[in-house]
Structure 1
Amino acid sequence: MDFRVLGPVEAHKDGARVALSGSKVHTVLATLLLARGRVVSDARLNTLLWGWEPPATSGAQIYTYMSRLRKLLGDEVRIERRQPGYLLQAPHSRFDLLEFERLDKQGREALRRKRFGEAGALLTEALEHWRGTALSNVTEHLADVELPQLEEARMHALESRIEADLALGRHEQLAAELTGLVAQFPLREKLRAQLMTAYYRSGRQSDALQSYYEGRSLLADQLGIDPGEALGSTYEAVLAGSRGPGPGSRIRQPERYEHEDDDVPAMLPPDTEEFIGRQAELAALRAQLADSATGRGPRHLLVTGMAGVGKTALALHAAHTSAARYPGGCLFAEIAQPDGRPKPPAEVLTTLLRGLGEHVGRGGTGGGADGPVELDELVRLYRARTAGRRLLVVLDGAVSSRGLDPLLSGSPDAVVLITSRTRLTQVTGARTTALAPFGDAAAFDLLAASAGRARLLAEPDATDDVLAYCAGLPLALRITGSRLAARPYWPVARLADRLADPETRLRELSFGGSGVTGALMQALRQLPGFDQARTTLIRLAGIGVDSFPAQRAAMYLGTREPVAEQRLEQLVDGALLDICGVDRQGRPLYRFHELVLLLAGLLKDPAHCGQPETTAAR
């Protein structure tokens, strides 16, 4: 039996394709195969087949699908009922994903040993197992969960194959392929460095340098950073003439090249190299983006959560992995100032219009000198330039619904993804993805990504303490991980001891200009009525981390229950307080995050109510 998932899900028996029908049957087979010999629970099958709302007859339907598969696949394949689900065993079958992974691993090992011909052949063979988009005939629920990591594995194999081909002197053949890849992933520095190498070894030094300048400009304009080691070292090598010809290369004289102006915007900041956690939220958001791209889903998507919970990281990762669905391009704009105040809509529109190729500035459209462009004119121009284009627009850091209307394209083909601490109820028809702090497993993985897994495992008790002090907040975890990475000689226990004191913990959760205190203070200052919100927070801090109703809050605040509930909802709007359930009377229950309670302690000191510290966390 031959199973395939790197393209449409298929099963072949004796060289003939087994006649499977319907996305549900393909989904069940793919799920069992991707489990790699492990039991797939009924709950997981329900989610991957029907999403969050399986039918009442889901169990019976799954049983029918399993029976159909047993009949179609024959005795070679055993599908067994094992609590809490099903198990597929096919020891003598061939699975294209396993073949791809085996060849990819062998190819990378050959590349590491500098056996470039062998590496190129193995990686090329690995990539030949791909017959198009993986899992293309399964439900969107399964595709959203499994497709991103499959596509990332394919990309890594492709980059490794290109590296081997460059070492073999095949730079002229690679230039066209890499040009297309860099256009698709303009902020992926490794690909751009490989393109520069191919250009230079083909005698096109000017094109290599032009590619670098374009990449540097993108990084500076969109992120305010310089190129990293891979791109920077390639640039220096090109200038020094040390990115020399590979084996068998043939240098030709540089030639003049016409660069076409690509009108498709690609403004997204770089995606994180290793996206950690949030798999359920990512799957839901990508499913919404997929539906929206076809016109069936909402045009406005919202990612919310407390300061530092990772809203921007999730939104950008979902946007990057969904960008191919938006042939009109991707726009990005930060819509809040560094201090948290909202940017004027005209400033944001100018950024977006420039991404669309319009020369807009204080001098007016077209660079005239008649004065600033009026907001109404910018809105009209923006809506004209986005009309009929299937665009994805990411607006990062919305403070409130006010000022958002001019930024929402009037085109039914454009989808707007917004990050905000509040739910922005006035954004019509918005679908909301709310983020909570990380659980233990994801928190450990995020900390280990910076500090090193082996280092954390060597001091399990101290690591547990650090994780507890960070309370699952990704910003706090990134800061502690960065501090440990910057001080490799520190035991983890040293940082745990520094974080142990609640009175100084927030001060310790600051590094490199980013801090938890600043992020939380920014959220507090964005609320209308800062003094009242500050007083509410200070008085309620005595409740601790236990859940509580408005009735109990009224006792601490010395006011009536309806007034107390209004003040609680104000903190909820600023993501400084969570609604964690309801009591027996159906009244909402509230709960503070541990780090917000520490902020309340600081607020008792008037010195901490001035300008918040600089922070880039949203």
Structure 2
Amino acid sequence: MEFRVLGPLEVAVDSRLLDLGGIRQQIALATLLLDANRVVPVGRLAEAIYDEDPPTTARAQVQICISALRRMFGAYGAGEIIATRAQGYTLRVPPELIDAHRYEELAAQARRERDHENYDAAVKHYREALSLWRGDPLSGIDSRLVQSAASRLAEHRITTNEDCLQLELDLGRHHELVGELSELVAAHPLRERLRAQLMIALYRSGRQAEALQVYRLARETMIEELGIEPNEQLQQLEHAILTSDESLNPPPAPVRLTAERAPAAPTPVPSMLPTDIADFTGREREIEEIRRWLAEAAGDPDRLAVPVIVVVGKPGIGKTTIAVHAAHTVADRYPDGRLFADLHGGAPRPVSPMHVLERFLRALGVPGAAVPDGLEERAEMYRSLLADRRMLVVLDDAGSESQVLPLLPGNALSAVLVTSRSRLAGLAGPMHVEVDVFDSAQSVELLSRIAGADRVRSDEGSATTLAQLCGQLPLALRIAGARLSARPHWSIEQLVGRLEDETRRLDELKHGDMGIRASIAMTYESAGEEARRLFRRLALLDSRTFSGWVGAALLDLPPAEAQDLLDDLADAQLVEPTGTGHGVRSQYRFHDLIRVYARERLAAEESAAERSAALERVLGTLLHLAEEAHRREYGGDYVRVHGPARRRTLPPALVDKLIEDPLAWYERERPNLVAGIRQAAQAGFTELCWDLAISAVTLFESRIYLDDWRETHEIALRATRQAGDLRGQAAMLHSIGTLYITEKRFDDARRDFDEALTLFGKVGDDQGRALVLRNIAFLDRMGGRFEEAAEHYERALEIFRATGDHVAAAYVLHGLAQLRLELDDPEGAGRLLEEALRLSRHGGSRRVEAQVLHRMGEMHLQAGDFPRAAEVFRRTLEVVRGAGDPTGEAYALHGLGVARLRRGELEAAESALQEALTLAGSVGERLAEGRALLGLGELALARAQPRRATGHCERALALFRAMGAQVYEARALPLLTRARAMTAGE
């Protein structure tokens, strides 16, 4: 068996390619292959399959994919190749069977041969490695996580290709390389190293004019696409070709570049680094990234530009500490000196590059009188002095690219470490080291080092709480530790008590010259007026995350303008992207201590009226988007009762992008919906409160967030009762009753429906009455009260027809059809279902269409038309999976399993019923779980396994009795009796 990822994903057995199944299955296999022989957590597999929006059934879906892969491998005697581990799965396969591993081994062997000056052997291994590639790695695997890994493989491939070509150029094979290099340059037009290699190959082949044309095309491409000139080395190469420089002639043998120290310069060797931190804690990953990248840059003989590393993070995160510590650990690699400057980028008056260059030039031995007056002249002298030297330059707290660019050396021997609250995207090709807060263990470790290990060890619980109150922010932890160290009579619990008062937290987090408020304030004050206003108003929101659109509502500005301001805040590290969502669907958050500061500024600088109006606009916009998402998911206002709360709309094009996938939008906004309902109640926005609660049910019901459903509706019901809002009370009681149906608490549901029906009647809301009557009819049907059910369905249908609510009418017709089936009238049920299907499609509701199709499948089952039933259930399954409805999927799988069972397809029936049982259990849908168990019981009887059938039927009966589902209880009893009788006769 051979596994191939260096091109489209393939698995071959004896040169025959296996059918790898659907895309989810392929993504799961690719993810396992990329980490072969290591445990891949279930969460990582789910992320790979669903990117940033895994459904609640993701774990079950991963299990299904793994089962399918095991069956596929099992057919070739390799069923145990995927092992289950505590946290996930491991693909156990000898590395040599994976083409990526063989490629890496060959490339490593080539580098070893090159280093030992076995150049022909090195080229041979390079070419063998490159021959394993069949195209773009893992092409066709539509997964962000998989493609991220694939892009790293692709980058490794082109670098290996460049290394091989350079070696062949040095061996004098320029003639035969021209064609290959031309193709590679066409495929990678921005790779300057490839351009240089092609120019040299052409020049050495006597094609000087073509070599110069390659440079001209490179220059045109880079200016057009990037707005920059080619790098200095490519420009120098053009000049050398123009002048027929002898250095371009082929060397007699490849020249090995060594890392020998350059001769000591006669100028001084500056050592300007601040003292290293004695209690440096954690940050192993960040330090290792910096060390590794600097080592790779130093070991790259073809590197032309100075390596630049930008350490990025919010105020107080420890950027300077990391940069200084990293600089000390690599100082011996830069024997010609270490330069350091604090640029004060967050201050009102940042340090100018002119001033820094004067300091640097003096440190390099330039007399004061010889320092040039102009910025460009100083920068030129600086670059000239560093031209042949290995120098490490550390630039702390850079505010902009303009502060940094004049301070960059002009050669690749030196290196630059920059810290900034911004990514400094205008710099060419830097490596970014993103710094986040400590984890809990690192936080407690830092407190131990400053306040004393014994002291912290004696009260670890309080120390952990203290770390949380500091937001795991290193500067805040350092201040807290210093305060404890300075006050040995304080207990940790005592400091925790002082910090728990949010209004005083920033006052407490100050010690000597260190202070969190001052650190954040410096960045806040440097922002523009509108950005500062947005920063303050974002603190109005109780949710820990917020979406990009909220800025427009808070400021009452067009979305594009507000997004620019939000991006400014993110660049300044005052807010941070969460990494979920992209573009207009991006999500952001505050660090806890930055939120505290924002709330201070909000209280000090915004009036109560301004705060209230801004909050109402945000909640009104959230309601507008929730209603749009609901309409697109359901195809109308089905199950909705509208309130009179004011909606704030967004441009239709933006709404289309935000809720392209309605359920994904609901999932992203779930914390904001729950927090918004609570805030609306607290602010006295009663109508907004209950209308938002109703709108959120689309999410709560489809993804089984029953705790959220209960909590938000209890809040909204209290608010409506306090305000005397009868319509709001009725809407809440109806929705809570629907929750009780989901939980199979039928008696509680009937009580709330009766009260809601009375209240809707008092306010004259016919739509509300119809919705309640429809649900009462369902309860009647489940309780076997068929006449009452028919009457309630008919009353609801009459109202929906009168109001033109096609989707709601379709749902009622679907309920009436089920009633006809239970009364053994499949012909009457068929007519009702045909009309229901037409209306649901006319209304654009895929959800109701799926429910109608499911009922049609049951009708065909009852009529004994099992092939047709199976086909209808398959169509149902396609619809519910497309709609992201796991509950509907469980029911559709159950129906498909029963249809296959009745056709005698026992293996296929078991697969569908087991999948239905797993899925129903994962989403808490007890009725579907009971029906799947009943199907498995019938299957066991068909296999003459009465004991297993008895177990399944007893579990199903217990579920039906617990929820009061008498109709299904009546179906389970005869099957259980038969199973027990067969068991007794064994």
- How does the TM-score come out when normalised to structure 2? 0.34
- Report the secondary structure of 1:390's partner residue: coil
Over 3 Å counting, the alpha-carbon distance change for 1:378 and 1:57 in structure 2 is farther
Among 577, 580, 588, which residue is 2:578 paired with?
580
- Report the secondary structure of 2:540's partner residue: helix
Partner of 1:595: 593
Whichever residue aligns with residue 506 of structure 2, its letter is L
Stretch of structure 1 that moved more, 434-443 or 324-333: 324-333
Partner of 1:287: 292
Over 3 Å counting, the alpha-carbon distance change for 1:553 and 1:377 in structure 2 is closer
- Relative contact order, CA 8 A, sep 6+: which one is greater? 1
Note if contact 1:397-1:420 (Cα within 8 Å) is conserved in structure 2.
yes
Identify unmatched segments of 5+ residues in structure 2: 1-36, 41-89, 99-264, 607-986
Among 263, 271, 278, which residue is 1:273 paired with?
278
For 2:309 and 2:280, how far apart are their aligned partners in 1? Answer: 20
Partner of 1:309: 317
- Alignment RMSD: 3.2
For 2:97 and 2:283, how far apart are their aligned partners in 1? Answer: 30
For 2:525 and 2:492, how far apart are their aligned partners in 1? Answer: 34
- Report the secondary structure of 1:396's partner residue: strand
Q: CA-to-partner distance for each residue in 1:497-526, whole Å, 9 max, x for gaps? A: 111110110011111121000100111223
Q: CA-to-partner distance for each residue in 1:466-525, whole Å, 9 max, x for gaps? A: 111100110000000000000111111111111111011001111112100010011122
Partner of 1:563: 561
Among 311, 335, 342, which residue is 1:327 paired with?
335
Over 3 Å counting, the alpha-carbon distance change for 1:447 and 1:261 in structure 2 is farther
- Report the secondary structure of 1:302's partner residue: strand
Equivalent residue runs for 1:28-39 within 5 Å = none
Partner of 1:345: 353
Whichever residue aligns with residue 306 of structure 1, its letter is K
Over 3 Å counting, the alpha-carbon distance change for 1:374 and 1:593 in structure 2 is same
- Report the secondary structure of 1:581's partner residue: coil
For 2:510 and 2:478, how far apart are their aligned partners in 1? Answer: 10
Identify unmatched segments of 5+ residues in structure 1: 1-40, 45-55, 65-259, 367-371, 609-618
Whichever residue aligns with residue 322 of structure 1, its letter is V
Q: Aligned-pair distance for 1:562?
A: 2.5
- Report the secondary structure of 2:518's partner residue: helix
Whichever residue aligns with residue 472 of structure 2, its letter is G
For 1:598 and 1:334, how far apart are their aligned partners in 2? Answer: 27
Over 3 Å counting, the alpha-carbon distance change for 1:507 and 1:59 in structure 2 is farther
Structure with greater helix share of residues: 2
Matched length: 356
Partner of 1:154: none
- Report the secondary structure of 1:270's partner residue: coil
Partner of 2:391: 391
Over 3 Å counting, the alpha-carbon distance change for 1:495 and 1:569 in structure 2 is same
For 1:431 and 1:340, how far apart are their aligned partners in 2? Answer: 27
- How does the TM-score come out when normalised to structure 1? 0.53
Q: Aligned-pair distance for 1:264?
A: 2.3
Over 3 Å counting, the alpha-carbon distance change for 1:551 and 1:385 in structure 2 is same
Q: CA-to-partner distance for each residue in 1:400-430, whole Å, 9 max, x for gaps? A: 1123221112223221111111011111111
Structure with greater strand share of residues: 1
For 2:293 and 2:598, how far apart are their aligned partners in 1? Answer: 37
Over 3 Å counting, the alpha-carbon distance change for 1:340 and 1:293 in structure 2 is farther
Over 3 Å counting, the alpha-carbon distance change for 1:328 and 1:42 in structure 2 is farther
Whichever residue aligns with residue 333 of structure 2, its letter is R
Identity of aligned residues (%): 36
Partner of 1:359: 367
Q: Aligned-pair distance for 1:58?
A: 10
- Report the secondary structure of 1:301's partner residue: strand
Among 94, 98, 110, which residue is 1:60 paired with?
94
Note if contact 2:465-2:496 (Cα within 8 Å) is conserved in structure 1.
yes
- Report the secondary structure of 2:425's partner residue: coil
For 2:93 and 2:456, how far apart are their aligned partners in 1? Answer: 42
Note if contact 1:483-1:511 (Cα within 8 Å) is conserved in structure 2.
yes
Partner of 2:416: 416
Whichever residue aligns with residue 361 of structure 2, its letter is L
Q: Aligned-pair distance for 1:377?
A: 2.8
Partner of 2:457: 457
- Report the secondary structure of 2:317's partner residue: coil
For 1:584 and 1:432, how far apart are their aligned partners in 2? Answer: 20
For 1:385 and 1:551, how far apart are their aligned partners in 2? Answer: 50
Partner of 1:441: 441
Whichever residue aligns with residue 596 of structure 2, its letter is L
Q: Aligned-pair distance for 1:458?
A: 1.7
Q: Aligned-pair distance for 1:358?
A: 2.0
For 2:292 and 2:543, how far apart are their aligned partners in 1? Answer: 34
For 1:330 and 1:62, how far apart are their aligned partners in 2? Answer: 45
Over 3 Å counting, the alpha-carbon distance change for 1:445 and 1:532 in structure 2 is same
Over 3 Å counting, the alpha-carbon distance change for 1:428 and 1:468 in structure 2 is same
Whichever residue aligns with residue 95 of structure 2, its letter is Q
Equivalent residue runs for 1:117-516 within 5 Å = 263-295=268-300, 296=303, 299-336=307-344, 339=347, 341-360=349-368, 364-365=369-370, 373-516=373-516
Stretch of structure 1 that moved more, 551-560 or 438-447: 551-560
Partner of 1:181: none
Note if contact 1:298-1:431 (Cα within 8 Å) is conserved in structure 2.
no
Whichever residue aligns with residue 292 of structure 1, its letter is A
Partner of 2:771: none
Note if contact 1:545-1:593 (Cα within 8 Å) is conserved in structure 2.
no
Q: Aligned-pair distance for 1:566?
A: 1.6
Whichever residue aligns with residue 353 of structure 2, its letter is P
Among 542, 545, 548, which residue is 1:547 paired with?
545
Q: CA-to-partner distance for each residue in 1:160-200, whole Å, 9 max, x for gaps? A: xxxxxxxxxxxxxxxxxxxxxxxxxxxxxxxxxxxxxxxxx
For 1:424 and 1:58, how far apart are their aligned partners in 2? Answer: 43
For 1:562 and 1:265, how far apart are their aligned partners in 2? Answer: 48
